Amino acid sequence: MGRFHRHDDGTWHDHDHDGGGRDLGDLSAYATGTERVSVLERIFDENDRAAVVNREAFDAAGVQAVNLMSSPGAGKTTLLARTLRTLRDSGVRAGVVEGDIETSIDADRLAGLGAQISLLNTGDGFGGECHLDAPMVARALTRLDLDALDLVLVENVGNLVCPAEFDVGAHRRVMVSSITEGEDKPLKYPVMFRSIELVLINKIDLLPYLDFDLDLFRGNVAQVNPAARMLDISARTGEGLAGWYRWLTEPITAR
């Protein structure tokens, strides 16, 4: 069944998650469309209110929260594993909300790295959603001791559409984009690329083996989001991660 999503201009888009879809524009002229949009607006309004509550909880505990998004396989969990080791060694107390539709595979990979981990399976009572929303994250936060943390990293469900549309209460948004995905992703998924502050261009260790135009990708990002910062990294080798660690911990060390 198709899902509806809102755009910045107030119009709505219906798409199936196999990639098909159609722009519906302004549905207010249609009775059934009006009813459906009204329901969707209530859902987003409720989510935004819950996001405010989450952010207030982070602020009250003095915690910085980062929403980490990407497509499946871009390297979020590998990046998080390296990041948690570095944060542990530097004395930054970290927690992770680990979002997945099913399984504890990624949460298990992050266990034992010095961070509090709260697993959130969206297939467990949430209908198998392709994203995390603020009420889901609120539930996950009950399993973290925020007063004992400096930073919470929310690893969102791998998807280039839905996660960008739901504020989970984080202070900053980051996406990991692997060079194996091609240069056209910023143009094909502009909502995601517009929603973030930082793009981590991952798997650059593969540049010698791929027909990937890094300058073209950077230009496409800038076309969609001129304010976005970009860092070239390899979560596998560690190349470029020093800049990521500085960006991530800057609000904490500045306190």
Domains of the chain from N-terminus onward: 62-253 (3.40.50.300)
Gap between the Cα atoms of 26 and 174, Å rounded: 30
pLDDT of the residue at 121: 94
pLDDT of the residue at 253: 87
Q: Please name the amino acid found at residue 6.
A: R
Match 């060694």 to its residue by tokens: 89
pTM score, two decimals?
Answer: 0.85
pLDDT of the residue at 10: 43
- The answer to whether the CB of 136 falls within 8 A of the CB of 167 is no
Length in residues, the chain: 255
Spell out, as residue ranges, where the chain has pLDDT lower than 50.
1-3, 7-31
- 26-37 residue pLDDT tens: 434 434 566 666
Beta strands in the chain (DSSP E): 3-6, 12-15, 21-25, 64-70, 94-100, 116-121, 151-155, 172-178, 198-202, 229-232
